[in-house]
Amino acid sequence: MNRLRENASDILPAVPSEPEHEQLGASTARLLLAAIVVVFVACGFVVLAGTPPFEANDEPDHLRNVESLISGEMYRIGATGGLESHQPPLYYLLLAGYQRALGIAEHGTRPTYIEVGGPQLGLWNHDTPSDGDDQRFVDLMRITGLVMGAGVVVLAYATTRLVAASRATALIAAAIVATLPKFVFLSAVVNNDNLVNLIGAAVVYVSIRAVTTTTEPGRRAVHLYAAGLGLLVGCALATKLTAVAVILPAAFAVMIVARRSRTSRTAWPLFATLSVIPSIPWAIFTYREYDDPFAGRVSGEYFDAVIPGLMRKQLTSDVFLHQLPEGIWKTFWYSSGWNQYSWSNLAYLPLWLVAFPAFAYGTWRLWSTRSRRPEAAVFGLTTIAAISVFVYIGSITTGVQARVTFVGLIALAIVAAIGLERVPVRARLLLPAMSLVGTLIAIRSDVIHLFVNR
């Protein structure tokens, strides 16, 4: 395989060299990256251990799918299924394998609601003899999310190193991801978004490696990129259908490397085939069970029955002018529990005042340098696709949640970090520092205060 670019300084003519006192050695950068990962895991672990079992967004339903697989049965949409029974199975298969490896038998996932007007907080009754056992079981399952989240943080650093000469910039990108309150809370619970986020980060990383190849790639290298990206896309779609956002950057990267080596006739079929294969079993199962490949119609009917009003019957201007903008404004940064805990609108203002200009300037810097446009296109297509999925989900349901954009989270963080490159390193810490403070405030108010000190 052709040598891939390990340092991107030769394609960054617009970026001045860092002052000597701000330059970081490789060993120092690795230690700082490890520290960032430790901070992320520590914050996530407090959320993990402090949140009672099942008190996270759809957590009982995600776990119900896992336990169905543990019992040897496939979960199904209907009276015996949960709110996540329409989801593809890859995440649940991985968790089922993890549970079997730990030697844990099938566990109950049907908690009872608290009594109306009772002293407990949350949704479920935890004043039961089995609550301690439930907590230990759920905590073990939640650990997988922290591992996946830590992988996203590391991939943010590794990807930035492919497009930016500065290790400080790579560390800032990793820190932006690691301190984002919503990402910390999401990674600390059982949710198939965690696997999608990790795969999405891997797609961005491989796509950037592909488009930043220093020399004309050989046939074998192109086929490896096409196969790798195809398999990643296929696994993402076999985890959650909202992961369609990963198709655009992956397809663009395959197009670039195939065009450079004139192997598009073989690269494209390989990419397309591997993108489809992982989802074929799920498509066959849903077709046989419901006469509805991927269960889109059946799941919509099920939600209409169990959560009246979730599926939108008509679109109004209020959806696009108020609900979707407010959803991005608030839920991108933070919402916890079953999304019932959030900050006031003004609390998000400092974060957006730094993050949005940094992202806009970073986008302009990437695109304004011709040699950097392939990387800019990968980041841009990832961002556009992720936001498009958010808009689509928010237009067909009332569940306006920006966490679906996290499939492209490292693209957003890297571009913002590049946008901050022209300011001193200490000033670049402002955004992750504010995010970390927000994470600590959220942990204190919505975990420790609500549950630990209850």
Residue 60 three-state SS: helix
* Cα separation, 426 vs 432, whole angstroms: 11
Residue 77 three-state SS: coil
Is residue 111 packed enough to be buried (19+ CB in 10 Å), middle (13-18) or exposed (0-12)? buried
* Cα separation, 150 vs 335, whole angstroms: 20
pLDDT at 117 over 70: no
0.75 cut: is pTM over it? Answer: yes
At residue 120 the predicted structure's pLDDT band, cuts being 50, 70 and 90, is: low
Other beta carbons less than 10 A from residue 322's beta carbon: 11
Furthest C-alpha separation in the chain: 69
Query: What residue type is assigned to position 18 of the chain?
Result: E
- What pLDDT is attached to residue 113? 83
* Cα separation, 334 vs 171, whole angstroms: 22
- What pLDDT is attached to residue 313? 87
At residue 126 the predicted structure's pLDDT band, cuts being 50, 70 and 90, is: confident
User: Each residue of 69-93: pLDDT tens digit?
Assistant: 999 999 999 877 889 999 999 999 9
Of 268, 280, 229, 235, nearest to 250 (Cα)?
229
Angle between helices 409-419 and 167-179 (to 10 degrees): 130
Q: Encoding tokens for residue 294? A: 């991927």
Question: Are 92 and 66 spatial neighbours (Cβ–Cβ below 8 Å)?
Answer: yes
Question: Which range has the worst mean pLDDT, 175-179, 255-259, 274-278?
Answer: 255-259
- What pLDDT is attached to residue 78? 85
Give residue limits of the domains in the chain: 16-213+314-452
Q: Encoding tokens for residue 56? A: 């996270």
Q: Encoding tokens for residue 170? A: 């790579």
The chain-wide mean pLDDT, for the chain, equals 90
* Cα separation, 43 vs 41, whole angstroms: 6
* Cα separation, 202 vs 159, whole angstroms: 9
Of 215, 212, 203, nearest to 165 (Cα)?
212
Of 339, 384, 397, 358, nearest to 181 (Cα)?
339
